[in-house]
Structure 1
């Protein structure tokens, strides 16, 4: 029996069991979830069995862990209040006003919960792994890499495991409880409803990224400016009062925040593609089911293959930075090659229309993701010319370092943008079988390309999460006095971590661009649902149905172009242009708010570190212990206060634009935010990464080494780059998708209540 017969047979027996309409192959999704979570637990327990180091190393790690959990507990309290209020609004709109799906409020809460849980597990692992990775580096470079990387793999596998679990559970629940006269319409309702839990994941991710980014960069800037530049003491010196806060920040920003970020990217790409597949093949329920399942199955197989890739990462003793980078690249490349072959097998089994075209779109997504990572690596690694040039410019002072870093970041945007343009065009045309008018299939191809890009997220995220663990290991080694050789090894791991983190950010930004394009198309499908909710009330929904009637279409058979015509979505419509301007402005406004927040928090931190050096004279002689807790408290309070306005701004902007300018204005807003936000995010991530590694290159003994005038200039450049690459830049890709998700969730309100 082939896949079509299996799916048709399941559909025929659906009336006897709520899950009977689900093909057996679907159960691979929850199985992959269990496999991922099982290996995450195994790697976590293996890490815990490693030696935690000396007593002082364990004490330092416990301080960092306590500070990280204290921050996260406070953040979750604030986020919890915001979530309850928003969920209550959604419940009112669904159950009382009747202009929204009644499942939205529950989906919103679960999306936020699982996103936060992914960050929590990742951070818990990282705070236990830092001292163990440092002690492992005391034995060998290979062991230090293995402990840090396997600990990072806990984050990667937890994210994909929880995401697949969330998707599986919701798919089963909605299949059991959503009722509709036709199977094809039911599947559209299910997939568009599942999309709404992406808003919860995105909002939690934005809070985590912004709050964690403000925390970590306030501490980092304070530690660097006063410790390195003014006091002339090494990085992570225990005499620096901000050093514990700096290590805490690595965990709350670069681990918990990044985990929540990529959780929502992963879910968004899978769910948007499933929704596009449901809409594209409504006329054939069997094919529709295949199109919905395809992205879930590809993501599931990619998760299993990521585990294989993780086991491929190892290096020989005496490895240099390029060999270390090659070891991580080997794991990613093995997983990527295997998913290319496996995805073809999945598509052939499902027997989707245009198997080879959709497979080509998946390959395009993977290749674009890898190439964006390579471009990021080139512009940010100290092994290549752009970062070395910035280090050379440091000899003439901080001004030329700033100019060089900004110029490098701006120039570096060219390649990722061109790659996304080419990748989007190719994935559309491949999936549309080179028929540009076949928009439904073409858009599905863009979505499945995003799934291909993120299909091996388990290992891609492991290489990213490895970075802050290696950074903390270096800090622990420095504060514990393990010796120059251990510090040299941890510095190599840390420098590699800077590159992998920058690569991960580029990868996340690239996937955000493709996912946001798919979400734009999904928004139109949600408009169809919004109109359906409002039909019969004599308002704007009935007017939209009447307008479709004049085009010879009904609400059920109208396509994307028909809705564009009804709502006049074209560049000569002032509402679209105004939305474009507002969307572009949102990217810069958001960065301005988060950069200024880091500046204000860093000022408090600098003043506190200076006060302690001034008032506690024994600190510099090692006779008095700095007040680490006070610095952690400053960062915590600043982050909690400053994260709220940028996050809520992303929520309210699509709602207000929708109420004033309607559907046309919202589509303009989303397009403007996507175009400006994508380019700005690449610029900020690459500039920040290049500044950071230029400093690391000098610290390796080049251009005078640590303590030289070139080093002081590079530290200032790195200080400017810190909020670029760790606060504002990575938050932009969440902003892009969060506004899309909010627009999707509020589509019914926009249809019913807009002024125009």
Structure 2
């Protein structure tokens, strides 16, 4: 047994974070050094890079204004209204922590775009040499994102707690990460699906084109969208989830045993080991010359999971940590893996459910939608049961340790589920990189053999993306249950200082709690509708623009040499529309929380969060899995099954994929960020809700 201090474990966390950032830098240099000499691919790759960076710059300028306004409000109101506190420094530190969180989250997105728009070119050209080099270029490009995001999130949380010494400031840092992630994921999701739907509907359904035919004016915008939605948006999203899980655990850990107690040590030890395990997992990822990309991605995830389980058990023994809490963490890790496997069953194009939806497509698009939506609903059950069982087991394993330890156990199970998030992000970012590589291979005229290789890599990316989204949503579910516990901790701490009654639980028979519950259930549906309507409106504008170009640019339809569509116009439509739509949905989610809090106080917020969590998780899982299922059903038909390309089944499957696009890449993955944001807003404003409410 060895004694370890909080300061020592925080220093080790910083060292591992810096190591992770060093690995990211090495991987970036490796990807950049891979050969690329095709002038046409370089030209198209530059279009994609410029479009992605232009969108990100315009999005971040809008979000910088939002951040500035929010920081001023935080300075005035949090953790206590400035006119009621004699210590203004707490408010200053909270505002600085918030800004720091937004900056690191934005940086995560920027790093992802930077590497993805290089890795796509390298992966496309590497495919001329076979599956292995192309896979390695795509995976290592994604791993840059994984290492950078998790390294910076652990570094940020550690520095905030070390320098400020207040777990509430960590909540401020987490809110900064979450609020930026909410808008980045929503904006990127609207952009990418606007372009994807438009390109598919006009190119494939109307004109019978191939997926990435360079005559299609929306094709570059589609490739840009893969980067701003699935790379920058998902990077910010998982950065937020990782920070939120650590924040919830740290708030409860400090409530139970202070800033220097064993509980805080456990949070940092397990989080640091998670990052170290991901570094080892990324370093050992390999594929044979004729290997299966899906198997390679999944096996590296399982290796990382095994390493984490062994190292955390060893650390628990060596440092004399609590085995019950290790048990809660291990349950989160195991159930996360099981949830990933069930998501794979519903979305993998080698499994029977995808085949069933493809077969239903032979009878027309109505049957594609009905079957896919139904299986999407069914797919939510295993994940929701997994979350429920994890929460129940973690609570009961840790509850005998004393009051408050049950909820702390749930927060540690969320930390366990997200412990290998470095590997999860690496797998997730791989998807859009190889998707872009497939488009570049077709537009660069690299031939059918190369396109077939990139198709295989893309199919593996789609399957793994469905798994990682299920994993991320489930982890967010546990995290927000833990944040509900953090909210109660914050309320009771504030109530004690104010000398008033705290809360022990939220009784749904209480009309105030029930009021909050019903409103909370409705918000994820409203939020999803606003995002998908944004995609709908924007896609209609782009479809009209594609038709205009086909009718007015001579020689475009025939594919005459040197005749190019106006790609920039479609990129501009996607950018302008998504930036107009991204703020309202996020603001509605935040404002509804504040309104409910000032009407019904902390009891109403308890009900609101409970409803929001339950409704948000169901919708997020339904939409992510149904979308992945429709996408891979389309790919299964395109591989020559159920009539193949151009058949009625293919046209129906494309319609299904079009409906699934905003499900899986706009609303679905944005919902887990939405439920995290409202939970953090509730915790941060808990004192105000205690002091000022109508009922």
TM-score of the alignment, normalized to the shorter chain, above 0.5: yes
* Corresponding position: 1:475 with 2:459: no
Structural mapping, 1:366-381, within 5 Å: 366-381=333-348
Q: RMSD of aligned C-alpha atoms?
A: 1.5
Q: Which of 511, 528, 552 is 1:574 aligned to?
A: 511
Match of 1:521 among 478, 485, 491: 485
- The CA deviation string for residues 311-359 of structure 1, in whole angstroms up to 9 with x for no partner, is 332222233xxx321111111111111111111122233323xx22112
CA distance in 1 between partners of 2:336 and 2:487 (Å): 24
Q: 2:222 corresponds to which residue?
A: 246
The one of 314, 319, 327 equivalent to 1:350 is: 319
Distance 1:461 1:403 in 2: 31
Matches within 5 A, 1:293-304: 293-304=265-276
1:155 aligns with 2:145: yes
> Contact (CA 8 Å) 1:299, 1:456: kept in 2 or not?
no
Please report how far the alpha carbon of residue 98 of structure 1 lies from its aligned counterpart in structure 2 after TM superposition.
3.5
Shift of 1:280: 2.1
User: 2:654 corresponds to which residue?
Assistant: 715
Q: Deviations over 1:498-518 (max 9, x none)?
A: 011111110110101110011
Q: Provide Cα deviations, 1:619-676, integer angstroms capped at 9, x if missing partner.
A: 1222221000000000000000000101111221211111111000111110000001
The residue correspondences of 1:435-514 to structure 2 (distance < 5 A) are 438-514=402-478
Match in the other structure for 2:539 = 602
The residue number in structure 1 matching 2:566 is 627
Aligned to 2:607: 668
Task: Report the alpha carbon displacement of residue 519 of structure 1 after superposing the two structures with TM.
Answer: 0.4
Which of 373, 387, 408 is the matching residue for 1:420? Answer: 387
Q: Residue 54 of structure 1 corresponds to which residue in structure 2?
A: 38
CA contact (8 A) 1:149 1:462 kept: yes
| Match for residue 303 of structure 2 among 313, 320, 334 | 334
3-state DSSP of counterpart to 1:363 = helix
Measure, in 2, the Cα distance between the counterparts of 1:62 and 1:755. Answer: 56
DSSP 3-state at the match of 2:213: coil
Give the structure 2 partner of residue 223 of structure 1: 199
Residue pairs, 1:585-664, within 5 angstroms? 585-623=522-560, 624-664=563-603
- Is 1:727 the counterpart of 2:645? The answer is no
Task: Confirm whether residue 36 of structure 1 aligns to residue 25 of structure 2.
Answer: no
Return the alpha-carbon distance in structure 1 between the equivalents of residues 459 and 202 of structure 2. 22
Structure 2: how far apart are the matches of 1:38 and 1:47? 14
| SS of 2:261 mapped into structure 1 | helix
In the alignment, does 2:147 pair up with 1:125?
no
- TM-superposed CA distance for 1:40, in Å, is 0.4
In 1: Cα distance, 2:27 partner to 2:363 partner = 47
1:445 Cα deviation (Å)? 1.0
For the residue of structure 2 that corresponds to 1:703, the secondary structure is coil
Residue of structure 2 aligned with 1:271, choices 229, 247, 262: 247
- Provide the residue aligned with 2:357 in structure 1: 390
Please give the alpha-carbon distance, in whole angstroms, between the structure 1 residues aligned to 2:227 and 2:95: 30
| Aligned partners of 1:608 and 1:631 also within 8 Å | yes
Q: 2:625 aligns with which of 686, 691, 694?
A: 686
Q: Is the 8 A contact 1:361 1:427 kept in 2?
A: yes
Whole-angstrom CA distance in 2 between matches of 1:721 and 1:427: 34
Question: What are structure 1's unaligned runs of at least 5 residues?
Answer: 8-21, 176-189, 536-540, 548-561
Q: For residues 688 and 439 of structure 1, what CA distance do their matches in structure 2 show?
A: 42
| Alpha-carbon distance between aligned partners in 2 of 1:52 and 1:485, rounded to the nearest angstrom | 18
Other-structure match for 2:94: 104
Is the CA contact 1:379–1:387 (under 8 Å) kept in the aligned structure 2? yes
Is this contact kept in 1: 2:175–2:677, CA < 8 A?
yes
Change beyond 3 A, Cα 1:168–1:57 = same
Deviations 1:597-628 (A, max 9, x none): 11000101111111111222411222221000
1:58-97 aligned within 5 A: 58-94=42-78, 96-97=82-83
Separation in 2 of the partners of 1:373 and 1:48?
A: 31
What's the CA shift string for 1:239-293, capped at 9, x where partnerless? 00000000000000000000000001001111211111121235xx7xx522012
For residues 687 and 294 of structure 2, the distance between their equivalents in structure 1, rounded to whole angstroms, comes to 48
Residue-by-residue CA offset, 1:562-593 (whole Å, 9 max, x unaligned): 5237xxx3122111001110110001001111
Q: Are 2:160 and 2:169, in contact at CA under 8 Å, matched by a contact in 1?
A: no
Return the index of the structure with the highest Cα Rg. 1
Distance 1:112 1:268 in 2: 13
CA distance in 1, matches of 2:598, 2:148: 38
Q: 2:283 aligns with which of 298, 311, 322?
A: 311
Where structure 2 has 5 or more consecutive residues not aligned to the other structure, the ranges are none
Pick one of 45, 68, 71 that aligns with 2:29: 45
2:256 matched residue in structure 1 = 280
Q: Distance in 2 between matches of 1:481 and 1:388?
A: 31
Q: Please give the alpha-carbon distance, in whole angstroms, between the structure 2 residues aligned to 1:705 and 1:229.
A: 14
- TM-score under structure 2 length normalisation: 0.97
State whether residues 311 and 331 of structure 1, in contact with CA within 8 Å, keep that contact through their aligned partners in structure 2: no
1:549-570 deviation per Cα after TM superposition (whole angstroms, max 9, x unaligned):
xxxxxxxxxxxxx5237xxx31
Q: How many residue pairs are counted as aligned between the two chains?
A: 687
**How far has the Cα of 1:166 moved from its partner?**
0.5
Deviations 1:694-740 (A, max 9, x none): 00001111122111111111000000000000000000000111000
Contact 1:315 1:327 in 2 (8 A): yes
CA distance in 1, matches of 2:377, 2:50: 39
Shift of 1:439: 4.5
Q: 1:553 corresponds to which residue?
A: none
Say if 2:9 and 2:268, in contact at 8 Å, map to a contact too.
Answer: no
Residues 433-475 of structure 1, C-alpha deviations (whole Å, 9 max, x = no match): 4x8xx44111111111111111111111101110000100001
Are 2:504 and 1:564 equivalent residues in the alignment?
A: yes
Q: TM-score, normalised by structure 1?
A: 0.89
Of 96, 106, 117, 1:116 maps to 106
Q: How far has the Cα of 1:97 moved from its partner? A: 2.8
